[in-house]
Amino acid sequence: MQVVLEELREDIKHAFQGVQPPHAIGEMLAAPYEASEDALELAAAFHGHAWSDVPIRDLFRHREMLFALSPVAFRAYLPAYLVASLAAESSLDEYGADFREYLLDSLAAEPGASADRVATTRARLATLSPVQRDVVVAVVRYLADRWHVRRADDAVRCLSAI
């Protein structure tokens, strides 16, 4: 199990190496969420940081707003949430369920979600390269096998449809 986790973490690092975060804070949020105070707090906390430098407390604090990131910012910070969602048997395990749930929420809009939510989800996923999508699918499948997370199939379906 530990070997698989380490391989997934290395695959994440490799797939997202060189991805730069948005240069301007105004590029951090998807248009429908630019006025949300919670989303603005996320943008302020993450802006200017590489995904690997965002403190775990900030990832956890802003997990509910992951869906509000613009496609460019989502691609830049998704790896942090992928790694955090793999927090099995570690000091982060107490946060793992929340990370997993909100990660999947950002990858597949709930049935009956608003048109804005569906459109922004599709736009975020479309920025991922095929290698990045493959890594995300591998992480989601691991989460489904290990933790029996809800909506894993929805996330894989959305990623495969791009």
Bridge partners for 69 per DSSP:
29
Describe the crossing of helices 71-85 and 130-147 by its angle, rounded to 10 degrees: 30
Whole-model pTM: value is 0.93
Q: How many whole angstroms separate alpha carbon 86 and alpha carbon 33? A: 28
**For the segment 104-150, what is each residue's pLDDT rounded down to a tens digit?**
999 998 788 899 989 999 999 999 999 999 999 999 999 999 888 87
Indicate the length of the chain as a whole number: 162
Q: How is 123-147 classified by DSSP, letter by letter? A: HHHHTS-HHHHHHHHHHHHHHHHHH
Domain span at residue 100 reads 2-160
Q: Is 18 left (phi over 0), alpha (psi -120 to 50) or beta?
A: left
Say whether pLDDT at 89 is over 80: no
Number of domains in the chain: 1
Q: How many whole angstroms separate alpha carbon 132 and alpha carbon 137? A: 9
Mean pLDDT of 21-42: 96
Biggest distance spanned by C-alpha atoms of the chain: 43
Count CA within 13 A, CB hemisphere, residue 60: 12
Tokens of 98: 């929340």
